[in-house]
Structure 1
Amino acid sequence: MFDQEARLERMLARHTDAAVVEPMAGRPTVVRRDQILVATDDAAAVEDVVRRWYDSGHDEGGVYLMRLRPQARVDVCELATRLGGDGRGRGLAVAPNTVVYGQPMWWSGPAGRPRPAGPVPAPSAAAPPRRDVTVAVLDTGLSAHPWYEDTDWYAEQREEVAEVLDADLDFKLDAQAGHGTFIAGVVLRHAPSARIRARRVIGGDGVGDELGVVRALTWLADWGRADVVNLSLGCYTFDDRPSPVLARALAALGRDTVVVACAGNAAGDRPFWPAAFEPVIAVAALDGQERARFSNYGRWVDACAPGVDVASCYLDFDGSRPPMNGVDPDAFAGYATWSGTSFAAPAVAGTIAGTAAAEDLPAGAAAARVLDPAKARTLPGLGVVVGG
């Protein structure tokens, strides 16, 4: 518990506009102070209601960000509840700007950071793919690696998707630096022919917010070429209900895109979003044949895959920590092992993408085949076992 609290304090010190809120006892979350997200179509109506507290507003590409005056001390959770009505579609699409975080850490997941590993063989397809498949990885970005640095899809990536490894300039890797690169590697291990499309939505410390996720999903919907989307991040909401703003962004992707998300690392059954959305494939982590001790579970979880000591491509980085017992704990030569539901999710996303490519299937049909409970083992609270 002390370690969790220390991590939380460090995060709040780094993100000074974030605050812990707990409208429901024992079910905390973190939001950006004095910020609410509003579906663009509802922005004018909401602005009229909050006029006396209103500071500024900006259309952020598919979602309207409203900032309220700090002096007004508005409870953004209470405001979202009031504007949202009874939750049966008659209210306005409003939500606090909830903080999201990658899942090996920090809320209560395993205290693990990546560990250096020896070279892992580059993925190779057993047979030529029957169609091209694109997997969008919305995460910390993407760094160059021999597995893919010569591919045309990597050459197409823009500079702004490059990972930031040491944002605070302390000569140490940020807590989740390399997270996106590692996840892209897990996808490729299961779908070697996949084209990865990266977008940075969380920092190297693993922290972002709902605004960044919604903007990325809107960009993907406009781009229209993602077969599978991997979201190895998420949050708990203040009322344990789905954000209507995020729901609209996911729906805009359309039925031709499959979304896979990690179930979270709190070892509980509290819904973790976006994984708990009905259309999203929520993925828990296995340790051998059993649930990993840190993995979330519940009726809202659809699948599970190995999530302990997963091996993948990683960064080249030699940090400042000294060797211990002859082992340098932060000298990475392009490969690592890591644990978390973050790394179970891309195994499922990659399996779906690989099936679609090998069998010339739409992503939805491939997902139905991979997750068919009649053809695979299932575990209570964990769903269909994929690759376990």
Structure 2
Amino acid sequence: MDIERAGEALIRPGQILTDRSALSAAARWTQAVSEADGVCVIHLTSGVDPCEITRELREHGFRASPNHVFAGQPLFFGGPATRPFPCPPISHRPGRARSQVVVGLVDSGVAAHRWWSDSDWYARTSAEDADATEGSQAGHGTFLAGLLVRGAPGVSLRVSRVLDGDGVGDEASVVRALHRMRDRPPQVLNLSFGGHTFDGRPPPLLADALAELTDTVAVACAGNTASDRPFYPAALAGTIAVGAVDHTLERRAPFSAHGSWVDACAPGEWLTSSFLERGEFAGYASWSGTSFATAIVAGAIADAARDLPAKEAALRVLDPQVTRQIPDLGVLVPSNL
């Protein structure tokens, strides 16, 4: 899919997101409209700048955004958060205990794996939500799934694929996936992807979609940007933004985003989890990134939510009165994996 740069953000060229209320106002710039799951993607006439049209529509009170490109967050140039590495098999036996907690995993999909081969939730996962098998981030969702089921034994995952094998997706796909969850919202939502916005402000349709999941705790990666620039969806109000610490549990991992908008952190270097069976990989890998620190935090909240409403569980896990804090990274959530 085409991508172009708008300042520090990446966007789909010639596309803006809005709802039906703005279609008539944007008609003079519109070549075509595609609508699904409550989201309209306006395909603009050639040569029209989607950022300029977004500003115009917002000035008139409409909810609009360029179709921002989002990416999974092992991506980091010059550090360990770049690609997975093979590792020996990991000892893990799914327990008999069943949790009533559902975690929404919106990512690259989940592949078959021995850890969940007999699970009800994987049997309900459609072929469309299977993990990618080719690309630089193929296996990203499968790796996250392993961290979640080990961090919250007995939990069920509800998988929605929005990223391709290179870990790339867009805002329209994410918002549509969130809208499809409204009838049966998960207690916890893992969002291990994101990006900057063209103007540094929250993307309104994405913010609206998450706000509609009123009883869901959304946990999102702060990004592997090594900067304090807000990264979305993590920087949205009400979302738990997760950065990464190194193996000492004292310092920020060099790739991790940071800043006052980051709420929590967890280990993010050389984590091991489930993976694809391909090439030199035998179903297990070691990988680094804020993507995976996010799954540790989401798993801890999901585990605590066995006995509490999810939002109360999040307050307990992230209680600054009882948990150590790391400057510019928020509350530390250690891993027992």
Contact 2:76 2:255 in 1 (8 A): no
Question: Using the alignment, how far apart are the partners of 1:34 and 1:140 within structure 2?
Answer: 25
Q: Which runs of 4+ in 1 moved over 6 A?
A: none
Local SS of the residue matching 2:133: coil
Partner of 1:20: 5
Distance, in Å, in 2 between the alignment partners of 1:338 and 1:111 is 7
How far off its partner does 1:106 sit? 5.6
Structure 2: where are the runs of 5+ without partners? none
1:228 matched to 2:228? The reply is: no
Shift in alpha-carbon separation, 1:231–1:106, aligned structure 2, 3 A: same
Q: 2:259: which partner in 1?
A: 298
Secondary structure, in 3 states, of the residue corresponding to 1:20? strand
CA distance in 2, matches of 1:107, 1:361: 40
Shift of the 333–191 alpha-carbon distance from structure 1 to 2, 3 Å rule, reads: same
Is the Cα contact below 8 Å between 1:37 and 1:63 reproduced in 2? yes
Aligned to 1:113: 83
Query: What residue is the counterpart of 1:29 in the other structure?
Result: 9
What are the ranges of 5 or more consecutive residues in structure 1 without an aligned counterpart? Answer: 1-14, 23-27, 167-173, 319-330
**What amino acid is aligned across from residue 31 of structure 1 in structure 2?**
I
Give 1:148 deviation, angstroms: 0.5
Cα 1:261–1:227 change in 2 (3 A) is: same
CA distance in 2, matches of 1:163, 1:304: 26
The aligned counterpart of 1:144 is 112
Structure 2 CA distance for aligned equivalents of residues 30 and 222 of structure 1? 31
1:66 aligns with 2:39: no
Superposition map of 1:91-240 within 5 A = 91-105=61-75, 110=80, 112-122=82-92, 124=94, 128=97, 131-166=99-134, 174-224=135-185, 226-240=186-200
1:59: how far off? 1.7
Question: Which residue matches 2:30?
Answer: 54
Deviation at 1:222? Answer: 2.5
- Post-superposition CA distance 1:15-44 (Å, at most 9, x none): 3x211121xxxxx1111111100034x2xx
- Give, in whole Å, the separation in 1 of the partners of 2:27 and 2:206: 24
Q: Which has the larger radius of gyration?
A: 1
CA contact under 8 A between 1:123 and 1:189: conserved in structure 2?
Answer: no
Closer/same/farther in 2, CA of residues 227 and 123 from structure 1, 3 Å limit = farther
| Corresponding residue of 2:51 | 77
- In the superposition, the TM-score normalised over structure 1's length comes to 0.83
Return the alpha-carbon distance in structure 1 between the equivalents of residues 81 and 272 of structure 2.
Answer: 17
The alignment-based identity, stated in percent, is: 48
Partner residue of 1:39?
A: 19
Establish whether residue 348 from structure 1 lines up as the match of residue 318 from structure 2.
no
Counterpart AA for 1:92: F
TM (norm. structure 2) is 0.95
Is the 1:108–1:266 contact (alpha carbons within 8 Å) kept by the matching residues of 2?
Answer: no
State the one-letter code of the partner of 2:282. Answer: A
The one-character-per-residue Cα deviations of 1:72-125 (angstroms, maximum 9, x if unpaired) are x1111121122112xxxx711000000000001168875521000111111555
Aligned counterparts of 2:91 and 2:330: Cα–Cα separation in 1: 30
Q: Number of aligned residue pairs: give it.
A: 333
Query: Over the residues paired in the alignment, what is the CA RMSD in angstroms?
Result: 1.6
Rounded Cα–Cα distance in structure 1 between residues aligned with 2:238 and 2:209: 12
**Residue-by-residue CA offset, 1:196-227 (whole Å, 9 max, x unaligned):** 11110000101000001001100111333x11
Question: Is contact 1:109–1:266 with CA below 8 Å preserved after alignment?
Answer: no
The answer (yes or no) to whether the contact 1:109–1:265 under 8 Å persists in 2 is no
* Residue identity matched to 2:284: Y
Corresponding residue for 1:311? 272
Asked if structure 2 preserves the Cα contact closer than 8 Å seen for 1:61 and 1:215, the reply is yes
